[in-house]
Structure 1
């Protein structure tokens, strides 16, 4: 069934049924009013254009027996059991774009969909499956589909068209180190056995495809081939970890190298404390949707833009018009899907509501926007890791992509790494940067997380910081209850307030317990305990002990008569020294603000080190608004105690090198545990 048919037929079926009762919608969940109306009459639709919340809502109503008829695409066949007694197939053929004809769906797919009905232990144990045929040939095919006793033979699995990412994974995983070994490895797989069984020539025809993919990896700078061996470059390893195409990595690296000075101007301005990041979200979303991941460059597309997004042709796009000169893909009018899609995602990340988003591009529903957001977030997360790796200070210029050999260009691109990661998180969640942290609130009871609508309501009420949401004063309490519609769910406002109190404390305590256990095995218990527990001057003493434990040289910069001086100068290997300032707060729920976090920049200038990388170490943590503001500072990294403790443990355990540690501490922005390289 086509997607549009599910909407139209469900509406027609509901129109001839008696009026239904009220349908209870979970608080804060955004459900299309049309869907709610037809569900009240025992009818629903289910397809890929529903939002995740809508699909779950329909599935729950199905499971509850509140829906008699559901018009669905194959999305309903994803292994979920419902109390349905019959399945009627509107059609069982699908258009094959390559062969330009309609052909029967695979038997396994048909039987999976048919298997949604007639389940043991349910009301309709004996299910009925109906489909029709319009010719003798179709009748023969239909009977084969309906024959549950006969199963299709397994396909060959891996095909030469899929060798691209696989060859890089094999080489990056050190499973093979030359062309012959890669071919032999693939020839030893179960897929190869199936190919041999059905093909008298065996898998010899795979060899040219293997060579072609290795040649491609060499051209993209992912591997280097010597006489008898192949070595994976830092770029190749990062691409393998990301799951992206090598072409995507080069596309972003070259584009960012060219546009990074202009992109840096889109970073929030610390002087006015603004967090307007929507232009940056548009540029990065546009770059992602126009990237090789969504095209056939370097192999089949890994993601697809929902077909409705480019369907209405170009729509009015103030973002693209304003940002034309700094977009990575040019001309932006040449890719309707990327331009329209980036517009949708920029407004989604800005916190626009359903109605405003669905009016931007005719016919595009919220579910398509959410799916596109997940794909773009995946691309950008991988790009951030690649940039983090190939701009590392310790990496030899010979090992870098050509576009990043110039130090000025490399530094300009490097400062965007954490910005890209955060924009990925914004686009995935559909939230402005200042309230993004609220996605981590744990309400302890179901639902464990606040839905997007509730988070945006808190923001609209001016409750943005944890200290605002946890405030128990009557006027603030009233705002919180109003934002969360506490009339329908009186306990929710209190649960959110308590979650805000726990937010940083619980994460910190959990990390502390893990680090204490690991430190006990490597003689670092006292150092880690002191680092977490100390404040003010004692915090400096604990930091000195940590540096001594890690055998990292340092010197004091502050002291009597040295007004405004930073606390430490730390030297890691032969890299430029780090100017370090320590900031702490007495209460575990209190956090270091932006002004305190950036003091080190002014202090470094006082001592004549205005070009040196700076680090602010915060205990217990830093306010959630700070990450978006510090990246424009260029040479400042802010790190919290729990994240530094993780890096220290990895250094001592031998899974993190000093060069990687230095790279982590000198990438502008907030240094997070998840930014640390994967353990060796």
Structure 2
């Protein structure tokens, strides 16, 4: 069934059904046509529904409150519902290669048919209905309906997969030469089956494989010397990200070309307009990247056809930012321009109705789907940029565009964590100043604070943790007013309690895990001190933790040096790092912006104005800080729990000192999740 069919048929069916009273749960954004259908025990289910809408439909299906659901194959697998019959509107789809309609695969048909008549469900026996026109179609339909046989297994590996596979096997250190790689692929079950079905065996795979090795060498992912092949740091980073190498090159070249203008956008810390400009450029680049095209192999992501079908819409972002877009002119690709515009409004927290007006026929669920794909691309790009711009990495291991230590290369490095933050924004759909609220955990079915609630609080001037933690009657009333609460008044108190424990649960979980690992390393006292100490005691704990690794930690804030930073840390022969340790007594408090950035002025006072700086914060840093930190150029801020993870990895041997230095000196907030993995170190 086509997506449009699900909407149209559900509406037509529902018109003849009696209506009952049904309202969407408070805070849940459900489009009116879907709500109208559900009131008549009818639903539709497809990829253009939002996440909340799909879950709402599935919940009502599971509870037996829907009699008929019109669905695409999104309902085909993974969920059991008490449905008694499945009727196929169509069981043939268009094959672009053959230019004709062909039956769907038997496994796909059985998966969809299997949604009805499930053991353990209210309806144990189901009926499956499909129609056929003519003798040939009838035979094809009967073959699909034969549930006693299974479709033959497909080929697991084909030459079309060699592009990704080749990089992965070299990055995994499974091969060191062309023949090694060919022998490895030749040892697979797929190769054995190919030999059985093809008289020439797999010899024709050799040229395909070797051409991919040539491609990866040309791009800079592999190096071949005297018949031996090694993978570069760039190649390992690309393999770990899952992106095409061509996507990485596309972004590297685009970021370098526009680095000065892009860093100006993040330098305007706290300016929502410049941040939205930044996310537009990144979103447009992601959609125009090889991930959405055929360069470097088959597209890994597909842009919904509705987004660009009627040409470009008025686009103030594209018009203003065209000179720094990675691919110009913007109007040459309506899908990319329109999609980036919708994603920018989504990330800015714009209301659903306004987003859906941008491009006719494009629902919010479609925008969310594109946002997830673009977020995935940007996360991978951020990881690659962080890895290949490391000051500890030899030029020969870097892509050609990033060799040397020019200002443009330094600017690209500064963008790594800013790109990561925009990828998170796109995943949630809110501005940076309230992004932290998406981490709040609420009890009950609504485990997360919804986007509409976050934006309502923001519009009410409640964007800081302290605004939500305040338990006074006046603060409670402000929260209720902001949320527009009536019978929903209890959620305001739940939000207050969630804000009070914000990060504490994660911190306590991290502490428990870290102490368990520390016990094995005989480091329990060191790690416990980092978590528990405050003030000068925390400074001492920090010094001891580095001393245990043989990393010199020179005190600077001594008698006669008022206003100097706390430490100067020297890792190998790299430029020393200026360190300031900041803490709050209460676990409910966070280190504010002024305290987090104080190290910059202190470093200048100490004559270290060009050195990288870090601020270690306990229990954590205020969530408004990231945009300002990224604008500070040489400042990195770290929570104690993330620092403990790095210390333990150094002792465990899964993090190199070079990787540690790069993590510490990349501008922005240093998160444990951004530490180099053992596969990329």
TM class by smaller structure: over 0.9
3-state SS in 1 of match to 2:438: helix
Task: Kindly report which structure 2 residues correspond to 1:301-450, keeping only aligned pairs within 5 A, or say none.
Answer: 301-408=299-406, 409-450=408-449
Q: Give CA deviations for 1:464-509 in whole Å, capped at 9, x if unaligned.
A: 1111111111121112234445433343222221111111222222
SS at the partner of 1:277?
Answer: helix
2:456–2:483 contact (8 Å) kept in structure 1: yes
Residue 657 of structure 1 is matched in structure 2 by: 656
Paired residue for 1:494?
493
Does residue 7 of structure 1 match 2:7? yes
Distance 2:444 2:42 in 1: 30
How far apart in 1 are the matches of 2:367 and 2:272? Answer: 26
Q: Report the counterpart of residue 608 of structure 1 in structure 2.
A: 607
Aligned partner (choices 297, 302, 307) of residue 299 of structure 1? 297
Shift of 1:25: 2.1
Q: Give a deviation string over 1:54-84, Cα, whole Å, max 9, x none.
A: 1111111111211111111111112322222
What are structure 1's unaligned runs of at least 5 residues?
none
Contact 1:627/1:670 (<8 A) preserved: yes
Superposed CA offset, 1:242-298 (max 9, x none): 00000001111111111111100111524x676852111111111100000000001
Task: Write out per-residue CA displacement over residues 22-47 of structure 1, whole angstroms, 9 at most, x where no aligned residue.
Answer: 22422211111110011101111111
C-alpha contact 1:579 1:604 (8 A) present in aligned 2: yes
Shift of 1:540: 2.1
The residue that corresponds to 1:207 in the other structure is 206
Q: Distance in 1 between matches of 2:484 and 2:77?
A: 34
**Equivalent residue for 1:466?**
465
Aligned counterparts of 2:299 and 2:174: Cα–Cα separation in 1: 26
CA contact (8 A) 1:27 1:488 kept: no
Q: Secondary structure at the match of 1:230?
A: strand
Matched, 1:643 2:636: no
Question: Aligned equivalents of 2:114 and 2:529: distance in 1?
Answer: 60
Residue in 2 aligned with 1:240? Answer: 239
5 Å-filtered alignment, 1:200-279, equals: 200-270=199-269, 277-279=275-277
Do the aligned residues in 2 keep the contact of 1:268 with 1:275 (CA within 8 Å)? no
Which residue of structure 2 aligns with residue 592 of structure 1? 591
Aligned length: 678
Q: Give CA-to-partner distance per residue, 1:94-144, whole Å, 9 cap, x none.
A: 111222221111111112112212223434333222222222221221111
8 Å Cα contact 1:601/1:614 also seen in 2: yes
Q: What is the rounded CA distance, in whole Å, between the counterparts of 2:668 and 2:121 in structure 1?
A: 54
For residues 122 and 556 of structure 2, what CA distance do their matches in structure 1 show?
76
With 522-531 and 40-49 compared, the bigger mean Cα shift is at 522-531
Which piece of structure 1 moves more, 378-387 or 499-508? 499-508
How far, CA to CA, are the matches of 1:161 and 1:202 in structure 2?
17
Matches within 5 A, 1:58-97: 58-97=57-96
- Residue 619 of structure 2 contacts residue 639 of structure 2 at CA under 8 Å; is this kept in 1? yes
What are structure 2's unaligned runs of at least 5 residues?
none
Cα pair 1:397 1:405 within 8 Å, conserved: yes
Matches within 5 A, 1:447-458: 447-458=446-457
Give 3-state SS (helix, strand or coil) of 1:158's partner. Answer: coil
* Residues in 1 aligned to 2:271 and 2:259: alpha-carbon distance in whole angstroms: 22
For residues 152 and 522 of structure 1, do their structure 2 counterparts lie closer, same or farther at Cα, with a shift above 3 Å needed? Answer: closer
TM-score by length of 1: 0.97
Q: Is the Cα contact below 8 Å between 1:273 and 1:629 reproduced in 2? A: no
Mapping 1:122-137, distance limit 5 Å: 122-137=121-136
What do residues 437-458 of structure 1 show as CA deviations (whole Å, max 9, x unaligned)? 1121122433221222222222
1:188 is matched with 187
Q: CA-atom RMSD, angstroms? A: 1.6
State the SS of the aligned residue for 1:45.
strand
**Rounded Cα–Cα distance in structure 2 between residues aligned with 1:261 and 1:592:** 30
Per the alignment, residue 101 of structure 2 pairs with 102
SS of equivalent to 1:617: strand
Query: Which stretch of the first structure deviates more once superposed, 73-82 or 169-178?
Result: 73-82
Q: Secondary structure at the match of 1:633?
A: coil
- Report the alpha carbon displacement of residue 419 of structure 1 after superposing the two structures with TM: 0.5
Partners in 2 of 1:416 and 1:497 — Cα distance? 34
